[in-house]
Amino acid sequence: MNKRLAGLLLTSAALAGTAGLGAGLGASPASADTTASLTYPVSGSTTINAIHTSIPLGPGTLAATADLTTGTITGRVNLPAATGSFSELGLVPVTATTEFVEQGPTTGTLESNGGIEATSHITLKLTSLKVAGIPLPVGNSCQTATPATIALTSQPGFNALTGGTLSGTYTIPRFTHCLLATPLINLTLPGPGNTITLTLGAAS
């Protein structure tokens, strides 16, 4: 399905007061078994509350498919590993590289005004850690014990075709399987009040 037709279907569904990105894009019975697929370029940042540090995200992609029969959309977010630096206790420089591993599809709703509410379940995997410039081994399985649940809401001006900004908050669970670095990581990163902002470009 081309971009123009997909956009018309998405817009028609929104004007009909139906819902999308995961729990529903709704459609009338006449649109049975019709789907629309769109891919968005994505970039953004996340701020880790415990260390008061913002980490750039992307560039990556969000691929979404809307089922206009059942009123659902599922999406997959693909982001590269992200690296951030901060000072532990305000003194010791620390650099960490984290992968965001999606656990199942992103799901949510497209509001009647075209806005989006969505939820992603993401495992944070720490792949590299340096303390005072010295690499600290974390192994190959250093990650949050459970996925983080990230709730995202579109900001004013969001459009299903041209994109826009999504933002939200989440809690970072405790980490596990990080070798001798596990206690240090769990004293530093986990906790609530983390924020994320994603900017979606025009769909293709």
pLDDT < 50 regions, the chain: 1-2, 4-6, 8-9, 11-32
One-letter amino acid for residue 1 of the chain: M
Whole-number Å distance between alpha carbons of 121 and 112 = 25
Give the number of residues written for the chain. 204
pLDDT of residue 117: 83
Whole-number Å distance between alpha carbons of 164 and 90 = 35
Q: What is the pTM of this model?
A: 0.80
pLDDT of residue 70: 67
Whole-number Å distance between alpha carbons of 52 and 50 = 6
pLDDT of residue 30: 43
pLDDT of residue 18: 35
| 3 state SS of 192 | strand
Tokens found for residue 131? 């303390």
Cβ atoms of 147 and 176 closer than 8 Å: no
Cβ atoms of 177 and 143 closer than 8 Å: yes
Q: Which residue has the tokens 């579109």?
A: 154
